[in-house]
Structure 1
Amino acid sequence: MYYPNPQLYHLNRDAPYRFKPGGVIAVEGQDLTRAMTRQEVRARLGDQECEVKTLDNTHLYCEPPETQPMSEDDGNELPALKVEPTVVYRGSLHVLWVFYRCSTGVL
């Protein structure tokens, strides 16, 4: 059966997303569960896994590592959040750049 590709929306197109360790990142979208389950989607933040906690039709929630991961892009110091299905690889979506905040400011 064919389903249209799910759509994920960028959190902020103009500036990096500021993340406080201990929280989750919520990504909005459309038709997220029509063609995949939580177990069939992978989220990566830089060079590390962002554990997908919940996936419903309009939201993906993932728990990032406690410390800021390294960027996989040599031209940027900030890690990017990328989301992709694991069943049929059709590419990934770069959702946002992420700043980690700590008690002394931005890491």
Structure 2
Amino acid sequence: MKKKHGRNKFRRLLNDLGTPKKYYYFCWKNKIDNFKMKYSEMTKEDFMKKFKFSSKSMAIFKQWEGSQEYQKIYRALLEIKSDEDLINIYNVVRDKALTGEDKAVKTFIS
């Protein structure tokens, strides 16, 4: 339940950005793909050309990374990633514990 809430909060924050360029920059900078765009595969040059970013605007958006707005969205992203990591770790330990691996059983129980 929390995982879905976290994703919804994150999407809402992304969609509430004042300009599409902030959305594009954040997705590219943090390698967030969607069904339309593979930001994770774009080089800086590809990104700048595709979304018409100049060197000056890239510098401005680099400064934006220090803003409260950017940090709020970034924290929401980290929350989602850490939740996913925790689930993955749980599943690995659980699978090893089910096969009888002593260390995993102790970790799983504690």
Pair in the same fold by TM > 0.5: no
Q: Which has more radius of gyration?
A: 2
Report the TM-score range of the alignment, normalised by the length of the smaller protein. under 0.3
Structure having the larger proportion of residues in helix: 2
- Structure number with greater CO (CA < 8 Å, separation at least 6) is 1
Structure having the larger proportion of residues in strand: 1
TM-score (norm 1): 0.27
TM-score (norm 2): 0.27
